[in-house]
Structure 1
Amino acid sequence: MLEARDTVEHEIWWEIKGGTSNVWYENWTKLGALNYVVPTDYPINEELVDVSDLIEGGAWNDQLLHQSFPADIAEHIKSEIYIDQLQGNWDRPWWMLTSTGRYTVNSAWNMLRHRDHEDSDFKQLCIKGVPFKIYFLLWRVLKGRIPTDDVLMKMKIPIASKCYCCSIPQQETIQHLFLTGQFATDVWQVFKNAVGIHMNLTQMKQVRYPCLKNAPFLWNELIDFLEGYKPILVSKIVYWNLPYDGWYKCNSDGASRGNPGPSSYGFCVRNCHGDLVYTECKELGINTSMVAKAMALKKGLMYCFENDLQPLIMETDSLIMKNVVEGIWECPWSIVAEVDIIKKLKARCNVLILHVYREGNSLAYFLTNLAFYFAGTSRFNSFVDLPSAGKRIINMDKQQIPNIRIRNAKNTSGMDIFT
């Protein structure tokens, strides 16, 4: 354990509670331990011990931050790590190799042993309940490590090859012995019949596409049926609803191309008449969509709180985010800092957090994708500053023109899949 400590410690993120984390040797910025992040020729202030030394009056000490760290790290700390008031508790550790933030021996072992990429073929062999000797035999077959006649002949061993399992003897090879031979074919047929697999289009249809009811079994009729098949579509009308009289509405969204991959967030604030108050979008670098959506919700709520835009309705198209903020679902460690800020701001202002379909979140969705084409942060303070596509969305929302949400039906019972 002591030998692995130096490696494992980098996978622990410390959430600031009382500022007890070590400034240089513990990961409290999500960038890693700063002793290994700052340039090697950068002077380290050894007088800084705990994170609380960087906090003065419930806020970051700007002068000390810029004196102690490079400019990019200092700006990251000020903008990404929110300090409201130290709670006097120990900082909380989160294990970054699991989504829950809880330590598991399995995740630590997989990290320490530098596991290679999984081979999909071998992964299908190693199934719980399969005896090891069967798994080992199949592994030898795939690797060609069975002493069949063709393998022995490659080793310059003279032999007259003959398969004794078939009525018409052929050369004994791994392919013939386990797949194409008469005996192998009979064995596979027994197991295929037992599980209802006959290796034809009809059986594939029943397994992969159970929603295709009343499909014929004759080949020609089945082809005609599939060519003329039309999926059942379910539609729903979705509006962007105007907020109550005197209220504001903030729509937020986040996206990641790759998950994790290049990500961005966007939010927009409108008044009770549907007129634009403010919009903002920004690219976040490599992140997950969950982090991007949490960042969008946090930034939108912080802007409305700082500018006293209350009472407020916050809308997000992420049901996960809504349930996490309300405490219905457990919060993943990767967004625990953002969710903590959202909860604190929610308790200090008059705000409702609601879930909305993406079709009712069109402007925030547009801004999120717009951020991928601009470096830095894009802000629009008036309707005339917006791109033409954004103006069109605002005008449609103000006139209460509906959006149509269309999805393939998952069943044929006519039930509404949007419930």
Structure 2
Amino acid sequence: MARVNSIARSWSSSQSQSWKEPLNCRATAEPHMLWKINSGSSFFWWDSWTGLGPLAVFLQKGTMPGNTLVNEFIHENKRDTEKLLNTVPAPLHNLIERIHINDPSKPDTCIWTINSDGKFTCASPRELTRKRKDTNDTLNNLWYKRLPFKIAFLNWRVMRKKLPLDDIVSKFGQNIVSRCNCCPNPQSETLDHLFVHGDIAKNIWQYFANSLGIKISNINLHLSWRDICVIVDNYRNQISSCLMYWDRPITQQFKINTDGSSLIQMKKAGAGGIRRNKEGRMILAYSEYLEFCSNNRAEIEAALIGLKYSSSLGLNNIIFEMDSKLMVV
């Protein structure tokens, strides 16, 4: 008795698990395989060489064809029409007659129809068989290219509840006396307590929320960590504007508007200013890079540079205008 072809073979519990997975993917991959006939080395009943899939499915139920090759129906590079009529169901005759026989000196070639070049790649069947979940914008935003990978990975572990905290470890049957290390009165170490409800967590939320203009009252600290991340991710600061006007200096005076800035993360600082006369006409504008310093220091440098340029031009009657309360005081 002929061995069952692998196309028709099903998995049984006596076989390995490594064989089960390819069999599960078989039904998805087979429709994308097409055999190009050369010498006829393909299986006549089991390989998809007509474009309709295995021809065995067109046979009567209960019929089990053997591992017959296509070349058994070819004689002197031509189809054996009589044998085909006696073997193949009538509706398939015209289709088989249209199949072109290529170079008989070469073995048949399998074409992977998903790729334009017909070549198989490991990535393409993975895309066919993988089960994609719905896109999560909050998780996608964690992988920001300017964010250090270890921080992004930590955030991902937090969002996916993959940190080895007491509440998670206990789910594996470990008996743990859970005590956090973040509160004067220790409580159970859970994800929400560590990142939301704990004393240290609340202080951190207050500190950074105020710096970003976020009202902590808008965030319910009794929500789960995941819900809070979604709220913060969707938060948009309200932008307000007001009309500003420039006061002209009196006769024979010049006004210099200055500003300084310091970027802590980039370790850069700069200063600049503009000088105008009583008519508002620009007399001089300047900007300079500074060695990294505090923002207050940058404001001071901006005023000193403006004073230096004015002194070099013999201009003494000068008014400085700036947004630094420290300098004004």
TM-score, shorter chain, exceeding 0.5: no
TM-score normalised to structure 2 length: 0.36
- Which structure is higher in helix share? 1
TM-score normalised to structure 1 length: 0.30
| More RCO (CA 8 Å, sep 6+) | 1
Rg: which structure is higher? 2
